[in-house]
């Protein structure tokens, strides 16, 4: 039944997409972020929904009256350059079959981010996309938090939908960390008291679910988000009270198994999982120094022959995941790919700080100021927790990066429209500039 329901939702929305391309963007994002078909148990689990949604959305965009150009900023160009470069590294990959399969997934993420840059051009559309993020990840947060509360589970970890980017407990925890500031932004900007309550409930359940994943990387991300919230929040007292409540709740109610696992972050040299991470980072570094321009292609060090080749001293019964967004990109695409990745992150941060600066004192743009702050907190959590997790190509992250472009462009247009014209009111047939009227105009009877 779930599979049939998803089919009905997707294919009933496709005709609407032909007239309103942004509907296709929301549908595309929903399937990418939530992977609802992975929650089904029948033929729908392997059906390529996003292929049909993406093709329909792009075709509708081309045929519509929507603008066909991307904002004139650095970031869209960097995104296109990165997409082109990862395509090149796929052709030269050490494990071509696995690399192509991953490229097929991640190039769609690049395409979605570029479409977001082109079509998200109003506050309404921004809010709609944020709700898709909140609902998609919030579903698993509420589901996971409920599992922890109602089963009193100890030692059992929360996982995401199978065969999705957030299937692993660590990846799911990072996705939820990314979503926390968005949920708080939606709570702050919502006028309806019931919506506010749902956002509060989702925030609490998300924190519980992050704890329930038993992910140390997710916990680091949660701490960073909490600290960033304290530092950037306008309401310091509320921020301190909420943070204190969260810390007290975790310390009081977290099971002993969870506390023991978190304690291993202080004695990583004795922890086999931590040793494996360091080993994987060394492997990525060795690969990149041997192939500095193109790297090894997607999933390079997870390809056992490659892992053994570049980590000859390891007891490699099986290849390891990179366990770091930075070493993941470094091993996959070399130093050039990593430089492009850092440039994308840097450009996004610059956009958000620019929005912060330009919207101060503009009440009508207070929402943009609040959102830029929320996105900065999300990115801070992602960049810190991502040091220990293989989530470099996460679609929600790239869409948040794309939103930084949209936000900066909307703020620019709004402020440009408010700027006073250089031309003052004309006197007679001769325009007067800068409030100075010509002597000839004054003398005229």
DSSP secondary structure letters along 80-113 = HHHHHHHHHHHHT-SSHHHHHHHHHHHHHHHHHH
**Binning pLDDT at 50, 70 and 90, where does residue 348 land?**
very high
**Predicted pLDDT at 60:** 93
The backbone torsions φ and ψ at residue 203, rounded to the nearest 5 degrees and listed phi first, read -60, -45
**Predicted pLDDT at 88:** 96
Residue pair 389/174 in contact by the 8 Å Cβ criterion: yes
- In the structure encoding, which two tokens stand for residue 323, read together? 């366990």
**Predicted pLDDT at 253:** 63
Query: Could you read off the pLDDT of 414-431 as tens digits, one per residue?
Result: 998 887 654 444 444 344
Q: Which residue has the tokens 């709004």?
A: 414
Q: Over the chain, what is the mean pLDDT?
A: 84
Residue pair 334/89 in contact by the 8 Å Cβ criterion: yes
The backbone torsions φ and ψ at residue 310, rounded to the nearest 5 degrees and listed phi first, read -100, 0
Bridge partners of 427, per DSSP, are: 430
**How far is Cα 254 from Cα 256, in angstroms, rounded to an integer?**
7
Among the ranges given (199-208, 221-230, 383-392), the one the predictor scored with the smallest mean pLDDT = 221-230
**How far is Cα 81 from Cα 45, in angstroms, rounded to an integer?**
33
**How far is Cα 119 from Cα 65, in angstroms, rounded to an integer?**
11
Tell me the average pLDDT across 19-43: 88
Tell me the average pLDDT across 392-410: 96
CA–centroid distance for 343 within its chain = 16
**How far is Cα 311 from Cα 405, in angstroms, rounded to an integer?**
40
Among the ranges given (40-54, 231-245, 384-398, 404-418), the one the predictor scored with the smallest mean pLDDT = 231-245
**Predicted pLDDT at 39:** 78
Among the ranges given (46-50, 129-133, 325-329, 343-347), the one the predictor scored with the smallest mean pLDDT = 46-50
Q: Reply yes or no on whether the pLDDT at 255 is more than 70.
A: no
**Predicted pLDDT at 153:** 57
Q: Give Cβ neighbours of residue 433 (< 8 Å, ≥ 6 apart).
A: 422, 423, 424
Tell me the average pLDDT across 171-189: 93
**How far is Cα 342 from Cα 85, in angstroms, rounded to an integer?**
14
Number of residues assigned to the chain: 445
């Amino acid at each position: 039944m779930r599979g049939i329901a998803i089919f009905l939702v997707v294919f009933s929305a496709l005709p609407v997409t032909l007239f309103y391309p942004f509907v296709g963007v929301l549908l595309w994002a929903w399937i990418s972020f939530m992977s609802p078909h992975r929650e089904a148990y029948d033929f729908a689990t392997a059906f390529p929904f996003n292929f049909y949604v993406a093709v329909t959305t792009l075709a509708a965009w081309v045929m519509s009256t929507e603008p066909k150009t991307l904002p004139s900023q650095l970031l869209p160009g960097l995104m296109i350059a990165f997409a082109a470069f990862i395509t090149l590294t796929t052709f030269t990959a050490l494990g071509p079959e696995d690399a192509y399969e991953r490229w097929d997934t991640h190039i769609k993420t690049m395409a979605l981010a570029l479409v977001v840059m082109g079509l998200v051009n109003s506050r309404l559309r921004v809010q709609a996309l944020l709700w898709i993020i909140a609902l998609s990840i919030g579903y698993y947060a509420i589901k996971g938090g409920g599992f922890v509360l109602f089963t009193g589970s100890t030692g059992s970890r929360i996982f995401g939908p199978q065969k999705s980017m957030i299937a692993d407990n660590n990846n799911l925890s990072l996705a939820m960390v990314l979503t926390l500031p968005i949920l708080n932004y939606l709570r702050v900007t919502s006028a309806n008291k019931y919506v506010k309550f749902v956002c509060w409930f989702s925030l609490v359940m998300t924190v519980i679910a992050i704890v329930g994943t038993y992910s140390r990387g997710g916990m680091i991300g949660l701490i960073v988000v909490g600290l960033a919230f304290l530092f950037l929040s306008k309401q310091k007292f509320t921020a301190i009270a909420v943070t204190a409540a969260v810390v007290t709740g975790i310390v009081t109610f977290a099971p002993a198994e969870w506390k023991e696992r978190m304690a291993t972050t202080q004695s990583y040299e004795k922890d086999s999982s931590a040793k494996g991470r360091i080993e994987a980072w060394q492997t990525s570094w060795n690969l990149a120094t041997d192939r500095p321009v193109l790297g090894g292609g997607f999933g390079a060090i997870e390809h056992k022959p490659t892992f053994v080749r570049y980590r000859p001293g390891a007891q490699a019964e099986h290849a390891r995941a990179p366990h770091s967004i930075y070493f993941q990109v470094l091993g996959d695409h070399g130093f050039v790919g990593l430089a492009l990745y850092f440039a994308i992150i840097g450009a996004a941060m610059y956009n958000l700080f620019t929005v912060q600066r330009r919207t101060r004192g503009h009440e009508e743009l207070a929402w943009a100021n609040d959102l830029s702050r929320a996105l900065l907190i999300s990115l801070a959590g992602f960049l810190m927790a991502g040091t220990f997790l293989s989530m470099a190509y996460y679609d929600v992250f790239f869409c948040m990066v794309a939103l930084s472009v949209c936000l900066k462009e909307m703020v620019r247009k709004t402020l440009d429209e408010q700027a006073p014209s250089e031309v003052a009111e004309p006197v007679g047939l001769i325009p007067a500039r800068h409030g100075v009227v010509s002597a000839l105009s004054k003398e005229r009877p």
